[in-house]
């Protein structure tokens, strides 16, 4: 770990109250950044702040990322609390239900898309405007290996994460001349509370697809993110980084 690599940098982490988002926030703090945690779950958000340390390095904001108005308000509030927004890690998302396309409820499809894809668009749009104005920024959108391969009985989730990958590639090209790096990561499954939304047979399927024979640890994801949001990542943008334990085929 390069302690101090993110000194004087300010980060927004969505879905920051638990799971991958919380692990990322903890790593960014360890490397010297100040962090604004966004989450829709107020009690869990308060618990996360307590866990990370209730000091000036951490601010919390209750945000529904499907609402552009809430995202814009949280962006302004975070910038005021931190002084600027140099880093964005978009981790907020849901798995949705497990069902085949033939019987997948349209309302559930829209819910997954609204949170995972539309929400990611809202957050990227609101934050990147400030990054363009300051001619600096690092964005990491957390997608999934399912967005590249498509998991059976999880078409909504897979399609939403494929959309996140494409959004990342487009935004990376649009901002390449502004010293802004926009990248995505595509982890294999991590054993977090998102598993509570899945059928056991689907969890077993995902594990069977990982040559390493285990789920990725949130700390391993946070380690990759920490480099991607640092100044050391001065060239790569619009790219996709796999943490699939050997599953990825392209």
Band (201; pLDDT cuts 50, 70, 90): confident
The contacts of residue 54 (CB under 8 Å, 6+ apart) are: none
Structure token digits, residue 93: 């998302």
- Helix ranges (H only) for the chain are 19-30, 42-52, 68-82, 106-113, 119-134, 146-149, 155-174, 200-208, 218-228
Under the banding of pLDDT at 50, 70 and 90, the label for residue 189 is confident
Mean pLDDT, residues 85-110: 97
Q: What is the pLDDT of residues 203-213, one digit of tens each?
A: 777 777 778 77
The rounded distance, in Å, linking the Cα atoms of 199 and 30 is 35
pLDDT at position 117 is: 98
pLDDT at 142 exceeding the cut of 60: yes
CA-wise closest residue to 67 among 48, 35, 92, 34? 92
Domain boundaries, the chain: 10-239
Exactly one of 136, 157, 205, 250 is catalytic; name it: 157
Among 14, 149, 168, which Cα is nearest to 93's?
14
pLDDT at 171 over 70: yes
Q: How far apart are CA 217 and CA 214, in angstroms?
A: 9
Q: Are 126 and 175 contacting, i.e. CB atoms less than 8 angstroms apart?
A: no
What's the mean pLDDT in 84-98?
96
The CA distance from 109 to 99, in Å, is 11
In which residue are the tokens 């898309």 written? 113
Residues 62-76: tens digit of each pLDDT: 999 999 999 999 999
* Cα(192)–Cα(20) distance, integer angstroms: 8
Longest dimension (CA), the chain: 51
Q: How far apart are CA 196 and CA 218, in angstroms?
A: 16
* Mean pLDDT, residues 10-34 taken together: 96
| Known catalytic membership, residue 205 | no
pLDDT-derived band at 113, boundaries 50, 70, 90:
very high
The reported pLDDT for the residue numbered 214 is 76
100 CB contacts (<8 Å, ≥6 apart)? 152, 153, 155
The torsion angles phi and psi of 88, rounded to 5 degrees, stand at: -130, 125
How far apart are alpha carbons 216 and 221 in whole angstroms?
8
Radius of gyration of the chain (CA): 17
For the chain, the average pLDDT equals 92
Confidence of residue 196 (pLDDT cuts 50, 70, 90): low
Looking at the chain, the whole-number percentage of residues with pLDDT higher than 70 is: 93
Phi, psi at residue 66, to the nearest 5°? -75, -10
User: Which pLDDT does position 211 carry in this prediction?
Assistant: 81
Handedness of CA 171, 180, 70, 65 (dihedral sign): positive
Cβ atoms of 66 and 160 within 8 Å: the answer is no
pLDDT at 91 over 90: yes
| Chosen CATH of 10-239 out of 3.30.930.10, 1.10.287.310, 3.40.309.10, 3.40.50.720 | 3.40.50.720
User: 213-235 burial, b if ≥16 CB within 10 A, otherwise e?
Assistant: eebbebeebbebbbbbbbeebee
Q: What is the pLDDT of residue 247?
A: 74
Q: What is the pLDDT of residue 197?
A: 64
Residue 191: the pLDDT is 65
pLDDT at 98 over 90: yes
88 has which bridge partners? 12, 139
């Amino acid at each position: 770990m390069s302690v101090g690599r993110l000194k004087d940098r300010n980060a927004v982490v969505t879905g920051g109250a638990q799971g991958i988002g919380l692990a990322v926030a903890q790593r960014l703090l360890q490397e010297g950044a100040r962090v604004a945690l966004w989450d829709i779950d107020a009690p869990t958000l308060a618990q996360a702040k307590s866990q990370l340390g209730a000091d000036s390095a951490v601010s919390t904001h209750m945000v529904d990322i499907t609402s552009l108005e809430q995202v814009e308000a949280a962006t302004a509030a975070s910038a005021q609390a931190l002084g600027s927004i140099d880093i964005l890690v978009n981790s907020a998302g849901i798995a949705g239900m497990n069902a085949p396309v033939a019987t997948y409820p349209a309302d559930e499809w829209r819910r997954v898309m609204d949170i995972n894809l539309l929400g990611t668009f809202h957050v990227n749009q609101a934050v990147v405007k400030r990054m363009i104005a300051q001619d600096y920024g690092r964005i990491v959108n957390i997608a999934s290996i399912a967005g590249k391969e498509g998991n059976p009985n999880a078409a909504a989730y897979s399609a939403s994460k494929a959309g996140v990958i494409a959004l990342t590639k487009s935004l990376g090209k649009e901002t390449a001349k502004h010293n802004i790096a926009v990248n995505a990561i595509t982890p294999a499954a991590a054993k977090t509370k998102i598993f509570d939304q899945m059928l056991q047979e689907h969890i077993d399927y995902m594990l069977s697809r990982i040559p390493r024979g285990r789920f990725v640890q949130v700390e391993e994801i946070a380690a990759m993110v920490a480099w991607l949001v640092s100044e050391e990542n001065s060239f790569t943008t619009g790219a996709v980084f796999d943490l699939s334990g050997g599953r990825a085929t392209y």
